[in-house]
Amino acid sequence: MKPGAANRWLWALILLGALAACARPAPEQALREAVESVEAAIEGRDAGELQRWLADDFIGPQGMDRDQARRTAMLYMMRYQSVGATLGPLEVALQDEDRGTVRFTVALSGGSGRLVPDSARLYQVETGWRMRDGDWRMTSASWSPLIR
């Protein structure tokens, strides 16, 4: 084999290895992206997409299940023409590669679509997550208002 050909093969293998390493984001990055997708579903007023991110055994406050969470989101989305969710910094804690917790503050707002929201509240949120079949799903959520 010519020296130039060997170098090309070496570079091709290095490139292939780099691409393979980039194919799947690290668990923490994938979890952050899942949280961003939930935020986008809320802002996009898409309760069905929001429910897609909830595990089948999701549990929320007062025993809220997955379907109740979707219905609650739908009610809020029907009430307000414009829905906003602005998340503070995410505190991600991985218990292992397939379980994690994400804590953050969120400002939820809803309104008629004008500049100023009709309603806005700030919450402290804690969510539990589990990896299943390569995707993160929210298993639990709890929240409390920061300003009462």
- Convert the pLDDT of each residue in 77-118 to its tens digit: 888 777 788 899 999 999 998 999 999 999 887 776 555 556
Task: Report all structural domains of the chain as residue ranges with CATH numbers, in order of start.
Answer: 26-145 (3.10.450.50)
- Tens of pLDDT, residue by residue over 42-67, are 888 899 999 999 999 999 999 999 99
- Give the number of other Cβ atoms within 10 Å of residue 57's Cβ: 11
Checking DSSP bridges between strand 91-96 and strand 82-87, what pairing results, if any? unpaired
User: Which residues neighbour 39 within 8 Å (Cβ) at sequence distance 6 or greater?
Assistant: 85, 87
